[in-house]
Amino acid sequence: MPHNMKILLSRTQIADGVARIGQQITRDFAGESVILVGVLKGACLFLSDLARQIELDATFDFIAVRSYGTQKESAGEVQLIKDVTTPLEDKNVVLVEDILDTGLTFSFLRKLLLARKPRTLKFAALLDKPSRRQMPVQADYVGFQIPDEFVVGYGLDYAERFRNLPDICVFSEDR
Ligand code: IMP
Ligand code: MG
């Protein structure tokens, strides 16, 4: 494995967590349609696996944000780079994120999406680092709570790299 990587969540553990969230969403929206809105780029692997675990009429859309800061820390300013193209009014929307960390990104996106008047807005985060929270937000669906470690793989990056690792790994530069 490249660099200083230690597996935190293996591909089979990830698949189990994704399947569990898929079942929860399938149950919560039984008989209805959902729009899955993935936050680029980190959530694209999670969304593609999650979508196949949801047994509902589902469509996809994507949104992209940038948060300023260093490569491992958000500086608290979130900017919209790409908006959804689907009208969300009166729709069931599930926002799909790789990780809920400080909560700044989700707070920003929640405000933005609620202004579109969806029927429901739920938030699915594969990973949750509760100890890092700066905003009072939580996800409706969480795959795994993880400690305060910087992780890469399965969509998550360090300076745009390592998104394609099949497992979620703790990454550290010191070696
Ligand atoms: P928040 O706004 O601090 O909640 O951060 C959410 C975003 O920060 C995620 O969508 C990730 O892009 C990034 N992020 C937070 N923690 C990690 C990590 O451990 N590895 C990689 N990206 C992370
Ligand atoms: Mg990132």
pLDDT tens for each residue of 49-91: 999 999 999 999 999 999 876 667 666 789 999 999 999 999 9
What span, in angstroms and rounded, lies between the C-alpha atoms of 140 and 152? 23
> Which percentage of the chain shows pLDDT scores above 90?
89
Average pLDDT, integer, range 85-107: 97
Give the distance (Å) from ligand 1 centre to CA of residue 32: 31
Residue 1: pLDDT above 80? no
pLDDT score for 71: 67
Q: Which CATH class, in words, describes the domain spanning 5-171?
A: alpha beta
94 contacts 35 by C-beta, under 8 angstroms: yes
Q: Which of 101, 128, 157, 167 is catalytic?
A: 101
Give the chain's mean pLDDT. 94
Residue 97: pLDDT above 60? yes
Residue 135 CA: which ligand 1 atom is closest?
4
Expressed in angstroms, the distance from the first to the final Cα of the chain is 14
Residue 113 token pair? 């999406």
Ligand lying nearest the CA atom of residue 165 = 1
Domain ranges (residues) in the chain = 5-171
Residue 39 CA: which ligand 1 atom is closest?
10
pLDDT score for 172: 83
Question: Sign of the C-alpha dihedral, residues 165, 168, 173, 174?
Answer: negative
Residue 103 CA: which ligand 1 atom is closest?
4
Residue 126 makes CB contacts below 8 A (sequence gap 6+) with: 14, 17, 18, 21, 43, 46, 97, 98, 99, 142, 143, 144, 154, 155
Who lines ligand 1 at CB under 6 A? Answer: 42, 67, 74, 97-106, 150-152, 156
Residue 175: pLDDT above 60? no
Q: What pTM does this model have?
A: 0.95
Residue with CA closest to ligand 1 atom 8: 101
